[in-house]
Structure 1
Amino acid sequence: MITVELIIVLLAIYLGARLGGIGIGFAGGFGVLVLTLGCQIKPGAIPFDVIEIIMAVIAAIAAMQVAGGMDYLVSLAERLLRKHPRHITFLAPLVTYLMTLLAGTGHTAFSTLPVIAEVAKEQGVRPSRPLSIAVVASQIAITASPISAAVVFFAGILEPKGISYLGLLAVAIPSTMVAIFIAALITNFLGKELKDDAIYQAKLEKGEVTLRGANVFEEKPGAKRSVLLFLLGIVAVVFYATAISDTVGLISNPLLPRNEAIVVFMLTVATLICVSCKVDTSEILSASTFKSGMSACICVLGVAWLGDTFVKAHIDDIQTVAGDLLQSYPWMLAVVLFFASTLLYSQAATAKALMPAALMLGVSPVTAVASFAAVSALFVLPTYPTLLAAVEMDDTGSTRIGKFVFNHSFLIPGVIAIVLSVLAGFIFGHLIL
């Protein structure tokens, strides 16, 4: 039966990938229905802890967006890119990485992708280079963000193993940053130069390539204040999570656990932004970050629930088959996480579905931390929203999806970045933890 049930899981994920976007969450729920009522499997745990964090963080980000904070951050990013346009392949991923690191969601990249494409065209740089590594950086940064659902969940299951929340961040942040920088250096040599690209030349002759120039930024009265309040919220989360950790122990037996603290702090930040910046709360519901964040919640709900249902039903079989393999070749965990995230379409869902089982199988905590970045292989299938947005925004045609689906502009930079992140994770992990 395990083969039949695995096929059901894979078919549900395939259906979700075909539907796209929020559809993968719908299909995940459908898969749970078939497994439980059709195969008589006990349903797994619904990942409410992950979902509540995503919802609270997205609420604060959406409030900041309506207050003008996101536009202000994008204006800062555009100023940086236009000041150093020749280094855009290195600066673009730095911008998207930092925005994701602070926001806890890769959807913040949407707002910077048009700027990256325009600056690249103006300088005659092949736009696929900065765009591809920028999208990848926005995905990998999730595994280093102090407020991302994936990091918070993973830190929670690592603490009983002796690795603190700060210890996880101390490895994840430098290893992913080093990897992104080296990957950007390699990406800078991928593909033909823009002037030698036949597709670009054909589009240029047809007049399909346009240069829009710099955007005129009109700052809203509460824009800077909303950004400051959001940053203070992140600092509060980090300090509180550190204070209640077993390693530091400044607050013993805290009334407010870390997950609940993040939710409370983020909702408080949203309240302060709405009050101090005079935000019309009805506009928050139509903000792009709110829509994408709530879509992510449904995706995690369906897919992580599906994965947890299957894994818990066959944990003994999985331990028998995978236990010896992972103990002999611990690096295989990164490979498993890589392909799982390709199908599960979410860093948080992948971590929720597989990391507890990996630790239960005897994988060392250091190996788990080093492999963590591999949950970010959302770029393999060319259907992820930020990836599709980058393709649409590059009218030169250099950022494209090939006829064989997998031969797209993001695959090589993404694989390089994850491999380097895992390698750096092992190095920093053994030095720090």
Structure 2
Amino acid sequence: MVVVELAIVLLAIYLGARLGGIGIGFAGGLGVGVLTLGCGLAPGAIPFDVIEIIMAVIAAIAAMQVAGGMDYLVSLAERLLRRHPRYITLLAPLVTYTMTLLAGTGHTAFSTLPVIAEVAKEQGIRPSRPLSIAVVASQIAITASPISAAVVFLAALLEPRGVSYLALLAVAIPATMAAIFIAALITNFLGKELKDDPICQARLARGEVTLRGASVFTGKPGARRAVLLFLLGIVAVVLYATAISDAVGLLSHPVLPRNDAIVVFMLTVATLICLTCRIDTGDILSAGTFKSGMSACICVMGVAWLGDTFVKAHLSDIQGVAGQWLSDFPWMLAIILFFASTLLYSQAATAKALLPAALMLGVSPVTAVASFAAVSALFVLPTYPTLLAAVEMDDTGSTRIGRYVFNHPFLIPGVLAIVLSVLFGFVLGNVIL
């Protein structure tokens, strides 16, 4: 019966991957229905704690976007990239990593990808190099963002085991940042030069490659104010989480736990942006970040619910089979998270579905923290939105999906960045934790 139930889980994930986008959340709910009504399993827990954080953060980001804050940030990024165009492959991932680190969502990369592609073409640099590592950086940065649902969830799991929120960030941020930098250095040598790429040369001959030049930023009056308010909200989250942590203990009996505080601070930021920047709240509902964020909520709900339903029903069997393996080879957790995230398409959903079970199996906190970056293998299947956007925005054809699906320019930089993040995570984890 276990084999049949596992097949149902995998078929639901496969169906969701075929549907794409929000469809993986729909298929997750379908899988739960089959497992409960058809196989008699008790339904697992819906990860409302993760979903509420995603909703609150996305609401603040969408308000900032409507106020012109995202355009302002993109103008700053473009200014940086055009000031040092020869180093586009190193600077592009730094930009997308930083924006994701601050925003808690990788979808902020959408706005910078066109700039990256244009600057690379202007310098005669193969656009697939900066575009691929920039997309990967935006995904891995989720595992280091102070306000991402995945990080907050893992922090809640680890705090009872002696790992504070700040200690988690102290390992995750430098480990992932160093890994992205080294991966970018290597990515700078991947692929043919544009002058030697027959596909690019053919497109040039047909006049299909265009140079648009620098864009002129005409910001809205409240753009800078919206960005400042959002940054202050992030600072407030970090300071409050620090104050209530056991390591600092400034607030021993906080009225608001950390998760609720994040929701309160982010909704407060959204309110202040609406009031001080005088934006129409109706426009927030149609903002691109709001739509993608709400889609992520459905995906997390369906997939994590499906995983929790199956794992809880067979936890003792899983402990018997996997417990000894993970005890002897703790690095295998990173491999499990890597392949799971390629199907679950969400860092938060992957963390929610697998990490509680891993810790129950006896995995050490150091191993959990070090392996955490592996939940970002969303680039393996070339169907993730930011990946597809990078392909569409590169009219030279250098950023293309090969005939065999997996031979695309995101795979090598992504695998390299995750392997390095895990290695650095183990090194730093054993020192800091």
Partner of 1:282: 282
State the alpha-carbon separation in 2 of the partners of residues 161 and 3 from structure 1: 33
Cα distance in 2 for partners of 1:263, 1:195 equals: 50
Residue 293 (structure 1) aligns with: 293
The amino acid that maps onto 1:418 is I
Q: How does 1:284-363 map to 2 (within 5 A)?
A: 284-363=284-363
Partner of 2:250: 250
**SS of structure 1 residue aligned to 2:135:** helix
Matched with 1:156 is: 156
Aligned to 2:404: 404
Letter paired with 2:201: Q
Matched, 1:259 2:236: no
- Matched letter for residue 266 of structure 2: M
Match of 1:240 in 2: 240
- Tell me which residue corresponds to 2:194: 194
For residues 5 and 410 of structure 2, the distance between their equivalents in structure 1, rounded to whole angstroms, comes to 32
Aligned-partner Cα distance in 2 for 1:4–1:248: 49
Query: Counterparts of 1:196-215 in structure 2 under 5 Å?
Result: 196-215=196-215
Q: How does 1:106-117 map to 2 (within 5 A)?
A: 106-117=106-117
**CA distance in structure 1 between the aligned counterparts of 2:415 and 2:146, rounded to whole angstroms:** 24
Give me the whole-angstrom Cα distance separating, in 2, the residues matched to 1:39 and 1:90.
51
TM-score (structure 2 length as normaliser): 1.00
Aligned counterparts of 2:396 and 2:28: Cα–Cα separation in 1? 37
Give, as a single letter, the amino acid of the residue that structure 1 aligns with 2:32: V
Q: Distance in 1 between matches of 2:246 and 2:357?
A: 23
Q: CA deviation at 1:408?
A: 0.8
1:378-417 paired onto structure 2 within 5 Å: 378-417=378-417
Question: In 2, distance between residues paired with 1:400 and 1:128?
Answer: 8
Instruction: State the number of aligned residues.
Output: 433
* CA deviation string 1:269-314 (max 9, x = no partner): 0000000000110100000000000000010010011011111111
1:248 CA displacement? 1.1
Distance 1:275 1:77 in 2: 27
Deviation at 1:409, TM superposition (A): 1.0
Q: Secondary structure at the match of 2:251?
A: coil
What's the counterpart of residue 135 of structure 1?
135
Structure 1, unaligned stretches of length 5 or more?
none
Give the Cα separation in 2 of the matches to 1:312 and 1:337: 18
Which residue identity does 1:340 align to in structure 2? A
**Counterpart-to-counterpart distance in 2, 1:419 and 1:128:** 21
Counterpart of 1:38? 38
Is 2:103 the partner of 1:103? yes
Q: Secondary structure at the match of 2:43?
A: coil
**Aligned partner letter, 1:9:** V
Q: Hey, what's the Cα distance between the residues in 1 that align with 2:30 and 2:382?
A: 23
Q: What is aligned with 1:18?
A: 18
Aligned-pair CA distance for 1:254 = 1.0
Cα offsets for 1:11-47 (capped at 9, x unmatched): 1000001001011100110010011101100000000
Which residue of 2 is the match for residue 68 of structure 1? Answer: 68
Query: 2:432 maps to what in 1?
Result: 432
What one-letter code is carried by the residue in structure 2 that aligns with 1:320? G
Q: Aligned equivalents of 2:334 and 2:318: distance in 1?
A: 16
Tell me how far 1:219 sits from its aligned partner: 1.1
SS in 2 for 1:220: coil
1:245 is displaced (CA, Å) by 1.1
| 1:366 alignment counterpart | 366
Q: CA shift at 1:321, angstroms?
A: 0.3
Give, in angstroms, the shift of residue 128 of structure 1: 0.2
Give, as a single letter, the amino acid of the residue that structure 2 aligns with 1:102.
Answer: L
| Aligned AA (1:106) | G
Shift of 1:267: 0.1
Following TM superposition, the consecutive aligned residue runs of length 4 or more in structure 1 with deviations greater than 4 angstroms are none
Q: Distance in 2 between matches of 1:349 and 1:365?
A: 19
Q: Distance in 1 between matches of 2:198 and 2:317?
A: 53
**Per-residue deviation, 1:143:** 0.2
* CA distance in 2 between partners of 1:258 and 1:183 (Å): 34
Q: Distance in 2 between matches of 1:5 and 1:82?
A: 53
Give 1:394 deviation, angstroms.
0.3
For 1:360 and 1:175, how far apart are their aligned partners in 2?
A: 25
Deviation at 1:162? Answer: 0.2
Find the aligned partners of 2:239 and 2:122 in 1 and give their Cα distance.
43
Deviation at 1:179, TM superposition (A): 0.1
- Using the aligned pairs only, state the percent identity: 85
Q: In 2, Cα distance between the equivalents of 1:130 and 1:163?
A: 35
What one-letter code is carried by the residue in structure 2 that aligns with 1:260? D
One-letter amino acid matched to 1:125: I
Aligned to 2:220: 220
Residue 59 of structure 1 corresponds to 59
TM-score (norm 1): 1.00
Cα RMSD over matched residues?
A: 0.5
Which amino acid is the alignment partner of residue 140 of structure 1? Answer: I
Determine the C-alpha separation between the residues in 2 that align with 1:327 and 1:109: 38
Q: What letter corresponds to residue 280 of structure 2 in structure 1?
A: D
For 2:177 and 2:192, locate their aligned partners in 1 and report how far apart those are by CA, in whole Å.
Answer: 26
Corresponding position of 2:420:
420
Deviation at 1:247, TM superposition (A): 1.4
- Deviation string, structure 1 residues 52-78 (Cα, Å, up to 9, x no partner): 000000000000000000000000000
Shift of 1:151: 0.2
1:315: Cα distance to partner?
A: 0.5
The offset of 1:93, in angstroms, is 0.1
- TM-superposed CA distance for 1:252, in Å, is 1.1
Q: Which residue of 2 aligns with 1:7?
A: 7
Cα distance, 1:81 vs structure 2: 0.2
> Which residue pairs with 2:84 in the alignment?
84
1:255 Cα deviation after fit = 1.1
Q: Could you tell me which amino acid in structure 2 is paired with residue 120 of structure 1? A: A
How far apart are the structure 1 equivalents of 2:101 and 2:112?
Answer: 15
Q: Which amino acid aligns with 1:211?
A: L
Give the whole-Å Cα distance in 1 for the aligned partners of 2:83 and 2:195: 23
Name the residue aligned to 1:119: 119
CA distance in 2, matches of 1:128, 1:262: 36
